[in-house]
Amino acid sequence: MENKTSKADKTKQFIVEKTAPIFNKKGYSGTSLSDMIHATGLTKGSIYGNFVNKDDVALAAFDFNLQKVNTVIRQEMLSCVSYREKLLVYTKVYENFLEFPFPEGGCPVMNTAVEADDTHPQLRKKASDAIVSWKDSLSKLIKKGIAGNEFRQDVDPEQVSLTIIATIEGAIMITKLTGKLSYRRAIMKSVEKMINDLV
């Protein structure tokens, strides 16, 4: 029984790994069952034998893609000494995400938020939770920086966190839309300045 469970888990993981880049690039409505069959080499029965439906696969794919982003950020923060350096990891990673093991198709939060805004409540909730979690992580770093006298006492952690997120996500959207990487670099310089000005 144990082997059966682990085989099912492995198949599920395989389906998620193979379909996650497609959902991230094409979106929920743009990803078809034939895309999933083509990517995995499995039959419809095999896919839906492991997942309830397409929604179920899409939600697991979002989690997988988000986990990839969070792992990159955590890894990069390991070598940071100050809270300012930890915050600057976000500008470094998002400015150069092709150099990191980022999900294919870019930021899953941005991709999902734009598409699932009105069409898919469960995916919208996932994207919303991801933004809140990101905001909480940033706020925690800023609060620790304030407590350690690294940042000014008058800094509002929540306001700064939301502004950093909005600016980074806006940079991704503008770059994607125009195809101009120089725009992303320019906007990230503004985020860097915002972080450096907290001191």
Question: For 59-118, what is each residue's pLDDT tens digit?
Answer: 999 999 999 999 999 999 999 999 999 999 999 998 887 788 888 888 899 888 877 767
pTM for the full model? 0.89
All structural domains of the chain, each given as residue ranges with its CATH number in brackets, are: 2-196 (1.10.357.10)
**Tokens 């085989």 belong to which residue?**
7
Q: How many CA atoms lie within 13 A of 81 on its CB side?
A: 0
pLDDT digits (tens, 9 = 90+) for 34-68: 999 999 999 999 999 999 999 999 999 999 999 99
pLDDT on residue 104: 86
Q: CA-CA distance, 118 to 151, in Å (whole number)?
A: 39
Neighbour count for residue 49 (Cβ, 10 Å): 12
Q: Kindly report the three-state secondary structure assignment for every residue of 150-166.
A: CCCCCCCHHHHHHHHHH
